[in-house]
Structure 1
Amino acid sequence: MTENPHLTLVLGGARSGKSAYAESIIVPRPAPWTYIATAQILDDEMRARVDAHRLRRGENWRTVEAAQALVEAIAGAPADRPLLIDCLTLWLSNRLLADADLSRDRAELVHALACRSAPTVAVSSEVGLSIVPDNALARSFRDAAGELHQAISKIAGRVALVVAGNPLTVKGPPVI
């Protein structure tokens, strides 16, 4: 599959600033912007996190909830408008817990992202830099996340790793 120059993959750890950085890539372009959210709100703490993200983004964002159906949400997004997906690892964990075919899901997602012709930014948590998890489910998730990141990085025109709020260019030209 060929590289998509319109696609940026933003990786980082928890609370690294990756979402704010991803938003900063999109907002210089004319609004409205589409935000595909993959989080499931299962408790008050997650609701507070989601509310904080929404408040920071403001009113020019059209939010699409896609905890499971990410590929369909991408297909339904305006083809000529900027798109931000936050976050791939939340979607991946949702699919893993749904006992989905992760290999098929990954291939379909890569294809959907490769076909986008408008600026597209995908945010994901880098979970492979720590110790080996002590249980099979967590190891399976870590491995699936690494495979997903490699597949998307292969087609992305740009990849950035955000550390303590500082974006480091991993692939392609610096974005900001």
Structure 2
Amino acid sequence: MTKSILITGGARSGKSTFAEGVTLSLARPALYIATAEARDAEMTDRIARHQARRGADWTTLAEPLALSQVLKETDGGPPRLVDCLTLWLSNLMLAGHDLEAAVAGLTDLLPRLASPVVMVTNEVGWGIVPDNALARAFRDAAGIANQRVAEACDELWLCVAGQPLRIKP
């Protein structure tokens, strides 16, 4: 069985819905590890819509920073869906954490997990070059993190216009 799956794509590419289906195809119920933080009304509404769409097959665990730790703690249980790595990286960056160390911790952990994990991430480098240093640093860090996580995963998918394309293996 595939143990680690990364699903990437642009905003509104269908990656979260696809990832939910992939996770539930592994086993039901499943655990949804949410990295988003409701910092404003729009994000609060977005989170509520995601939760309503998922339904009763899911248990949600919110964890904006300690992703590797929660994956260790939940290993041996149901399949996990992490949505999303991009928000996790943003949370880490805003909190002043070492992104390289956090990503290395995640990629070192993935092959040792017993329960499947599906992760969603965004392709942030396909647009224009950001006009400020913080946004450029984030774009670069996300691109490097995506490369490292993709390398560590058993399977990689790209979603484009709601269509999943298998990239790896």
Alpha-carbon distance in structure 2 between the residues aligned to 1:146 and 1:121:
18
TM superposition shift of 1:35: 0.7
CA distance in 1, matches of 2:47, 2:161: 20
1:14 aligns with 2:2: no
The RMSD of aligned alpha carbons is 1.4
Pairing 1:1-176 to 2, within 5 Å after superposition: 5-172=2-169
**In structure 1, distance between residues paired with 2:109 and 2:78:** 15
Amino acid at match of 2:103: R
Q: Deviations over 1:107-143 (max 9, x none)?
A: 1111222222222100001101111111110111011
Q: Which moved more, 1:86-95 or 1:104-113?
A: 104-113
Secondary structure of the corresponding residue to residue 162 of structure 1: strand
User: Normalising by structure 2, what TM-score?
Assistant: 0.95
> Unaligned stretches of 5+ in structure 2?
none
Paired residue secondary structure (1:132): coil
Structure 1, 85-94 or 95-104: larger mean CA deviation: 95-104
So what's the TM-score if we normalise by structure 1?
Answer: 0.91
Q: CA deviation at 1:78?
A: 3.6
Identity among equivalent pairs (%): 45
Instruction: Report the number of matched residues.
Output: 169
Please identify runs of 4+ aligned residues in structure 1 that moved more than 6 A: none
Give 1:20 deviation, angstroms: 0.2
Query: Structure 1: any 5+ residue segments left out of the alignment?
Result: none
Distance in 1 separating the partners of 2:92 and 2:72: 18
Structure 2 distance, partners of 1:8, 1:119, is 8
Deviation per residue, 1:37-61 (Å, 9 max, x gap):
0000011111111111111111121
Separation in structure 1 between the aligned mates of residue 27 and residue 63 of structure 2, nearest angstrom:
24
Letter in 2 for 1:171: K
AA at the equivalent of 1:10 = I
Residues in 2 aligned to 1:20 and 1:154: alpha-carbon distance in whole angstroms: 23
Measure how far apart 1:150 and its partner are. 0.7
Measure the CA separation in 1 of the matches of 2:11 and 2:161.
10
SS in 2 for 1:128: coil
Kept in 1: contact 2:78–2:115 (CA 8 A): yes
With 85-94 and 102-111 compared, the bigger mean Cα shift is at 102-111
